[in-house]
Structure 1
């Protein structure tokens, strides 16, 4: 057996730690947190070691919702294998994106109108106050 085949055979049969890490990774951050809490409950150095490992490996802070959704198979542009459905999905996503942009533009106009109305009211109150002070 050559040295090149040793890492392959080692990777084919990972140790208990690698299997446990993969099992927790498949279940996400809540599983890591639950394991850490149980570690603190049963034997506090284990919980502390898990916390240190989670921080050191950036498991505690690096996973975002978008990344988890993509890894779970919720990718919006993933092909289904059916060309007609993929075309329908692409058109629907494009339409929804347009509706979202239009709605965001509407909200921006609404905020601008509200700001202008509040500013106009402030200016009117200020003008009325200055007129009453000058009389």
Structure 2
């Protein structure tokens, strides 16, 4: 913890007040504050120990060796892996087609809105011109 922290782990008036307030507002907040008071200075050490254990774990290599594009590694069955790769490629191509169609549709909708806005603007200008002519004739 840095010395500039306003709320440090330990029994201080501020931490006690926050704990009581946490229990009043929502009891898990008070419980969390109590845990912070009791074990807050150990959190960084616990996180460091957990990271060291993970780095030493044999599971880390398993997760790191997974294929990041599909989220899964090879299964060992060549036929299935080839099939899966073909299907993933086909699905990605379909996705690209759908994205292109959506872009075209968005463009179409933008053009429709522009045409509608232009029509409304032209109608407004025509009614304004008519109103201006009526006002000039009344004067």
- The alignment's TM-score, normalised by the length of structure 1, stands at 0.50
Greater C-alpha radius of gyration: 2
Ranked by relative contact order (alpha carbons within 8 Å, sequence separation 6 or more), the top structure is: 2
- The alignment's TM-score, normalised by the length of structure 2, stands at 0.49
